[in-house]
C-alpha cells in the first residue's frame, strides 16, 4: 500500500507566513549600531581634547628629559621628541576603536559618519590638522546641533558616546 499526500492537506498560507517572518528579521552590524549611538556632548569632547593635549605635552617633555639624562645632544633628539608628540596628537583618533587615550577615558569613539567604521589614520590626520590650524574657531562648531568641527566635516567623521561607558549611566 502506498500513501500519497493530497494537495489539500498542505497549508500554503502558513508556509507563506513563515517565509515572511524570516524575511523581516534584521541583523544589525557593529557599524550600524555605532551609527545609532548618541553624539558625544561638547563638554565631554572638550575634556577629552584637553586630556589628549596634556598627553601630547607629557610625551614631549618626558622624551626631552630622557634624552637629556642619557646625554643625547644636538637637534636630533629634539626633533624626535616633537615627531613622537605630534604623531600622537595627529593620529591618536585612529588608535583601536577610534579612541585616543582621552576618548578612551571618557567613553567616546570617532567613527566614519557614513559607514560607522572606526576612524582611519587618514581621517585622524585630517581632522586633527585642521584643529591645529583653526583652533578655537574649529572647537566652537562643536556647540552646534551636529556637534562636528570643520575637521570632522572634512574627514567625514563624528564623535559618539559608547553605551558601555560607566560615565553615561
Residue numbers of the domain that contains 108: 37-163
User: Could you tell me if residue 104 is inside a domain?
Assistant: yes
CA–CA distance from 36 to each of 18, 52, 96, 132 (Å)?
Answer: 29, 26, 20, 29
User: Could you tell me if residue 26 is inside a domain?
Assistant: no
Assessment of whether the complete model's pTM goes beyond 0.85? no
Tell me the C-alpha distance between 137 and 71, whole Å: 41
User: Could you tell me if residue 68 is inside a domain?
Assistant: yes
**Residue 167: CB partners within 8 Å, gap ≥ 6?**
44, 106, 107
- Number of C-beta neighbours around residue 152 at 10 A: 25
User: Could you tell me if residue 70 is inside a domain?
Assistant: yes
Show pLDDT as tens, one digit a residue, over the chain (169 residues).
566 555 555 454 554 555 555 555 667 788 888 988 999 999 999 999 999 999 999 999 999 999 888 887 778 888 999 999 999 999 999 999 999 999 999 999 999 999 999 999 999 999 999 888 887 787 788 788 788 888 899 999 999 998 654 443 3
Domains held by the chain: number: 1
**Residue 163: CB partners within 8 Å, gap ≥ 6?**
37
Amino acid at each position: 500500500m502506498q500513501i500519497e499526500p493530497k494537495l489539500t492537506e498542505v497549508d500554503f498560507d502558513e508556509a507563506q507566513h513563515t517565509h515572511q517572518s524570516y524575511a523581516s528579521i534584521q541583523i544589525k552590524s557593529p557599524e550600524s549600531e555605532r551609527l545609532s549611538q548618541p553624539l558625544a556632548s561638547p563638554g565631554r569632547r572638550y575634556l577629552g581634547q584637553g586630556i589628549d593635549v596634556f598627553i601630547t605635552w607629557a610625551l614631549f617633555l618626558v622624551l626631552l628629559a630622557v634624552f637629556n639624562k642619557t646625554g643625547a645632544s644636538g637637534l636630533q633628539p629634539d626633533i624626535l621628541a616633537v615627531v613622537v608628540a605630534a604623531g600622537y596628537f595627529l593620529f591618536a583618533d585612529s588608535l583601536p576603536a577610534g579612541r585616543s587615550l582621552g576618548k578612551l577615558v571618557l567613553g567616546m569613539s570617532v567613527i566614519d559618519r557614513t559607514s560607522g567604521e572606526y576612524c582611519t589614520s587618514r581621517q585622524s590626520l585630517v581632522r586633527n590638522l585642521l584643529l591645529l590650524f583653526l583652533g578655537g574657531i574649529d572647537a566652537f562648531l562643536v556647540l552646534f546641533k551636529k556637534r562636528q568641527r570643520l575637521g570632522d566635516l572634512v574627514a567625514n567623521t563624528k564623535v559618539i558616546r559608547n553605551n558601555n561607558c560607566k560615565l553615561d549611566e
